[in-house]
Amino acid sequence: MCGIVGYVGSDKSVEVLLSGLRRLEYRGYDSAGIAVIDPHGELHTRKRAGKLQTLIDDLDGLALANGATGIGHTRWATHGGPNDQNAHPHLGDDGKLALIHNGIIENFAELKRELLENNPDIVFASETDSEVAALLVGIEYRATKNLAEALRRTVARLHGAFTLLVLHKDEPGVVVGARRNSPLVIGLGDGENFLGSDVAAFVEHTRRAVEIGQDQIVTIRPDSVTITDFDGAPVASREFEIAWDASASEKGGWSSFMAKEISEEPEAIAKTLLGRIVDGEVRLHELDALGDALNDIDRVVILGCGTAAYSGMLAKYAIEKWARIPVDVELSHEFRYRDPIVNSRTLVVSVSQSGETMDTLMAVKYAVQAGARTLAICNTQGATIPRESDAVIYTHAGPEVAVASTKAFVAQVAAFYLLGLHLADVRGALSKAEISGLLEELQALPDQLSTVLEQHEAIKQLAGWMTDTRAVLFLGRHAGYPVALEGALKLKELAYIHAEGFAAGELKHGPIALIEAGQPVFVVVPSPRAQDSLHPKVISNIQEIRARGARILAIAEQGDAAVLPYADVVIPIPLASTLFEPLLAVAPLQIFAMELAAAKGLDVDQPRNLAKSVTVE
Ligand code: F6R
């Protein structure tokens, strides 16, 4: 959702804010705005509907105003449409204070009514919940003449989730932030300090970062950082070094971030495995934080949304097969509203690229309250979900900037597979030799995946021929099923084409009625050499739909002769056993969706209506 950046330091705030917003734009791109205090103590704000570039094109002389204190915002609209008025920052204290907000203030209507009753002259310039907070901080500032205290008094009245940053022209060199269930991280510089929704906001200036806990207030000045709780009591904080480097979130010559990130998938898997496989065994020191809990658990519940949830579906197949523990996979937003059965013998594993998805965060909090042990699989250091969990396995996919998740997905699956093999070891469900053999297969995947990516041009050509397609179906069985779902999700979100993923066996129970002459259907075909009967079953499914006119686009093992007679197109992938094949089969579908969207002239990095990090429920 919205991206937030704050800066205090030297007279370069406009540059710092704009470069931070550029790196955060994936969080929302309905509008953008900045507020800076210039060297003469004047407050300037500029905000524009549309993407960040519209704001940049419209800055006029604001760069000249620069100054050492500023805040910036890129918006994903919740309350009020995406126009100039609703863009942030919002003003308070007669224009002397500027505020930016991420999240939703649930009691804003009540607060707004109260503000209007008590201050008949007050004029609201926007339809947002955020402006209420700006006006309230302004009123409190007049009473206290202390920005941190004014914000503290305000947040005590707010319900919901929020990150707020404020500055006031009477306190140059100060930015104050507050957070509840919404992300905010500090960047520590030399004579300058930063705030950001995530570390991407300031990683080009510093690798030193500090986590901010729930319900805390932070005040940054060029040479100091102070953190308190919402009651004003000082709190301890943890500094960490950012593992990403700034160039990792540059496009670097690629046509899109998404193209670059797909090309990084082999590396994302390799880095996630790095140091975690030693002498044919899994080494996950991160799990020490769970103590002996892993010996006692009788069930695993996996929580995630969207693409992350599909990685969880693959984890279910792997963990149940290898460790023989029952696993349930749940969409985070469905989980806590149905009174789920969770107790101290349940290991709840959340999976989230951003580590900020509100639905998943709330589900994790529910699990903690129910007494479960919690483990996060996450790609973003300093994020909220790992902080709220007992332990975390970080995926090392590097920053994912394109809104559609790609390399994070394969890294999540790799991390889950390490977890599955570790659980198998702890519980003695597989022999050391079996585990070592499976780890070898896992380690071979980056090289195998690199050969799949070599087919990018051929897949692009296929996508180019299909720009008029109105609907595409995706079929898979067993581990191929989550891949089918993911292929369909990618096509929907990027190319705005109706797409559905089905378990291949389910087709004859209804969806086969959708098949008519020429209907394109991607089929994820399992290996003919896999030690199970999946392959012939999927070949039969292909025959059933081909007989009804479907156009078959098969992703199949190189040289799979059984597919050739029935497929219109075959995208070959190297041999891999059933559970590992998804890590090779998914990239062609990601590339297909991306290239089809590009051929239609769409923005593949920032699809309409979406934001990368969904921090509202
Ligand atoms: C799809 C996509 C989303 C995310 C989902 C969860 O391409 O990116 O479905 O996977 O919003 O996000 P995280 O992993 O950040 O919790």
The domains of the chain, with CATH numbers, are 3-248 (3.60.20.10), 251-452 (3.40.50.10490), 456-599 (3.40.50.10490)
Q: What does the pLDDT read at residue 27?
A: 81
Buried b (16+ CB within 10 A) or exposed e, 561-597: ebbeebbeebbbbbbbbbbbbbbbbbbbbbbbbbbbb
Q: What does the pLDDT read at residue 61?
A: 72
Mean pLDDT of 185-194: 97
Report the separation in Å between the CA atom of 404 and the middle of ligand 1, taken as the mean of its atom positions. Answer: 7
Mean pLDDT of 532-536: 85
Strands 175-180 and 208-211: unpaired
Q: What does the pLDDT read at residue 123?
A: 87
Report the separation in Å between the CA atom of 309 and the middle of ligand 1, taken as the mean of its atom positions. Answer: 8
Mean pLDDT of 99-108: 93
**Which protein residue has the closest C-alpha to ligand 1 atom 6?**
305
Q: What does the pLDDT read at residue 614?
A: 74
**Which protein residue has the closest C-alpha to ligand 1 atom 9?**
306
Q: Is pLDDT above 90 for 449? A: yes
Q: Is pLDDT above 90 for 223? A: yes
Q: Is pLDDT above 70 for 63? A: no
Report the separation in Å between the CA atom of 409 and the middle of ligand 1, taken as the mean of its atom positions. Answer: 9
Rg (CA), the chain: 25
Q: Is pLDDT above 70 for 199? A: yes
Phi-psi region of 431 (alpha: psi -120 to 50; beta: other; left: phi over 0): beta
Quick one: pLDDT band at residue 3, thresholds 50, 70, 90?
Answer: very high
Mean pLDDT of 52-61: 88
| 3 state SS of 579 | coil
Mean pLDDT of 26-48: 92
Q: Is pLDDT above 90 for 291? A: no
| 366 backbone dihedrals φ, ψ, rounded to 5° | -60, -45
Q: Give the up-direction half-sphere exposure of residue 187: CA atoms within 13 A in the CB hemisphere.
A: 27
| 443 backbone dihedrals φ, ψ, rounded to 5° | -70, -20
Task: Return d(Cα 199, Cα 374) in angstroms, integer.
Answer: 24
pLDDT digits (tens, 9 = 90+) for 474-518: 999 999 999 999 999 999 999 999 999 999 999 989 999 999 999
Beta bridge pairs of residue 301: 328, 348
Q: What does the pLDDT read at residue 246?
A: 74
| 525 backbone dihedrals φ, ψ, rounded to 5° | -95, 125
Q: What is the residue-wise DSSP string for 357-378? A: -HHHHHHHHHHHHTT-EEEEEE
pLDDT digits (tens, 9 = 90+) for 112-170: 999 999 988 888 999 999 999 999 999 999 999 999 999 999 999 999 989 999 999 99
Q: Is pLDDT above 70 for 609? A: yes
* Active-site residue, 378 included: no
Task: Return d(Cα 376, Cα 353) in angstroms, integer.
Answer: 10
Quick one: pLDDT band at residue 470, thresholds 50, 70, 90?
Answer: very high
- Check: CB of residue 183 under 8 Å from CB of residue 386: no
Counting ligand 1 atoms within 8 A of each CB, the residue from 257, 261, 307, 359 with the most, and so the one to mutate, is: 307
Report the separation in Å between the CA atom of 508 and the middle of ligand 1, taken as the mean of its atom positions. Answer: 30
Report the separation in Å between the CA atom of 616 and the middle of ligand 1, taken as the mean of its atom positions. Answer: 13
Query: Which one, of 469, 512, 503, 457, lies nearest residue 484 by Cα?
Result: 503
Q: Is pLDDT above 90 for 76? A: no
Quick one: pLDDT band at residue 531, thresholds 50, 70, 90?
Answer: low
Mean pLDDT of 230-236: 95
Q: What does the pLDDT read at residue 410?
A: 98
- The CA-atom distances, in angstroms, between 103 and each of 74, 75, 202, 351, 617 are 12, 10, 21, 21, 9
Max Cα distance, the chain (Å): 80
How many other C-beta atoms are found inside a 10 Å radius of the C-beta of residue 265? 27
Structure pTM? 0.87
**Which protein residue has the closest C-alpha to ligand 1 atom 5?**
306
Burial label for 295, CB within 10 Å (0-12, 13-18, 19+), is exposed
Counting ligand 1 atoms within 8 A of each CB, the residue from 393, 405, 483, 589 with the most, and so the one to mutate, is: 405
Q: Which atom of ligand 1 is nearest to the CA of 308?
A: 10
Residue position matching structure tokens 């977890």: 419
Q: Which atom of ligand 1 is nearest to the CA of 354?
A: 15
- Provide the angle, in degrees to the nearest 10, between the axes of the packed helices 108-118 and 130-144: 50
Q: Which atom of ligand 1 is nearest to the CA of 385?
A: 16
Counting ligand 1 atoms within 8 A of each CB, the residue from 314, 614, 615, 616 with the most, and so the one to mutate, is: 614
Contacts of 21-25 with CB under 8 Å at 24 or more apart are 21/52, 21/72, 21/73, 21/74, 21/201, 22/52, 23/200, 23/201, 23/203, 23/204, 23/249, 23/401, 24/74, 24/196, 24/197, 24/198, 24/200, 24/201, 25/51, 25/52, 25/74, 25/606
Q: What does the pLDDT read at residue 612?
A: 73
Pocket of ligand 1 (CB under 6 A): 305-308, 352-354, 357, 360, 404-405, 489, 493, 613-614
Burial label for 6, CB within 10 Å (0-12, 13-18, 19+), is buried
Task: Return d(Cα 134, Cα 92) in angstroms, integer.
Answer: 5
- Check: CB of residue 492 under 8 Å from CB of residue 486: no
* Chain Cα centroid distance, residue 358: 11
Q: What does the pLDDT read at residue 380?
A: 92
Choosing from 47, 260, 407, 612, the catalytic residue is 612
What's the chain's average pLDDT? 94
Beta strands in 544-588 (DSSP E): 551-557, 569-573
Report the separation in Å between the CA atom of 319 and the middle of ligand 1, taken as the mean of its atom positions. Answer: 22
Burial label for 344, CB within 10 Å (0-12, 13-18, 19+), is exposed
- In sequence order, which ranges of 192-288 are alpha helices (DSSP H)? 257-263, 265-273
- Check: CB of residue 102 under 8 Å from CB of residue 4: yes
In this structure, the dihedral spanned by the alpha carbons of residues 571, 576, 578 and 579, taken in order and rounded to 10 degrees, is -110
Report the separation in Å between the CA atom of 278 and the middle of ligand 1, taken as the mean of its atom positions. Answer: 31
* Active-site residue, 612 included: yes
Q: What does the pLDDT read at residue 253?
A: 86
Mean pLDDT of 373-402: 94
Q: What does the pLDDT read at residue 49?
A: 94
